[in-house]
Amino acid sequence: MLLNDPSEPGGIEVVALDADDTLWHSEVFFERTQRRFTELVRRYVDHDVDVDRALFEVEHRNLGRYGYGIKGFTLSMLEAAIEVTGGAIGTVEIEQLLAAGRTMLDHPVDLIDGVDDVMTELAERGYRLVVVTKGDLHHQQHKIFASGLTDRFERIEIVSEKDPDTYRKVAASMGVAPPSFCMVGNSVRSDVLPVLEMGGHAVHVPYHVTWAHEHAQHNGDVPTLASIRELPGWLESRRGP
């Protein structure tokens, strides 16, 4: 097996990976909790009320205040539940929503199929690995530790926004120029477009569920893999003849 040669011009040296829904399952737990939210709130509102829409709007207006993560999501669920029911929702349901948030935080880390093998293979091929994730510092650090993957990564970058400037800083902190940097993630908007904009490589590995706030319009000209298992082969194919 040929090792990746970082001295090759334009060769990818650093592979950066998103965490939630790229390394492990996450959105599926948000979806499950949101179904519980809908079920609890439905007891108090007419059938034509769009309960999911109400939650989406509360999440949206709180995004600048709460940032990303389960705690902010739980607080937005509570606010939306009170708002959409005009205060009619009971303390019993509030308590159940609080418990649903705690259950999400306590859930064991569930690696996506292939992740463990692929991380090992990339490390063996000489790629330097870094995690770049948005979200809650405390919970993300807990998940990375619990994933058992900590020692594969040279750095863990928990960032508050994924924009071109953030990726420029991450590449610099790894000591490489953008053409030697490749980001891998499930969000075209957060993991692909801003990296292409700053001159790096990026590849989209879709997850079967996407958070409504992460949907992005794009021209379809984005490298996409069906599974993270295809990542080592794709990286090799970028090395040219």
Q: With 0-12 CB in 10 A as exposed, 13-18 as middle and 19+ as buried, what is 190? A: buried
- Note whether 33 binds its own copies by CB under 8 A: no
User: What is the pattern of x (binds its own copies, CB under 8 A) and - over residues 114-143?
Assistant: ----------------------xxxx-x--
Question: Structure tokens of 103?
Answer: 């259950």
Which is closer to its own copies, CB of 27 or CB of 79? 79
Task: Give how far Cα 29 sits from Cα of 20, 35, 230, Å.
Answer: 11, 10, 25
Among 55, 75, 84, 130, binds its own copies (CB under 8 A): 75
Size of the site for its own copies (CB under 8 A): 32
Among 12, 54, 89, 205, binds its own copies (CB under 8 A): 89
- Token match 């599974």: residue? 227
Buried residues in 228-241 as b, exposed as e (16+ CB within 10 A)? bbbbbebbeeeeee
Tell me how far, at minimum, the Cβ of 135 lies from its own copies, in Å: 8
DSSP state, residue 70: H
Among 4, 37, 101, 205, binds its own copies (CB under 8 A): 101
Beta-carbon count within 10 A of 129 CB: 18
Tell me how far, at minimum, the Cβ of 211 lies from its own copies, in Å: 16
- Note whether 26 binds its own copies by CB under 8 A: no
Nearest to 21 by CA among 224, 187, 180: 187
- Note whether 67 binds its own copies by CB under 8 A: yes
Tell me how far, at minimum, the Cβ of 59 lies from its own copies, in Å: 13
**Which residues are near its own copies by CB under 8 A?**
62, 65-68, 71-72, 74-75, 78-79, 82, 87-92, 94-95, 98, 101-102, 105-106, 136-139, 141, 158, 160
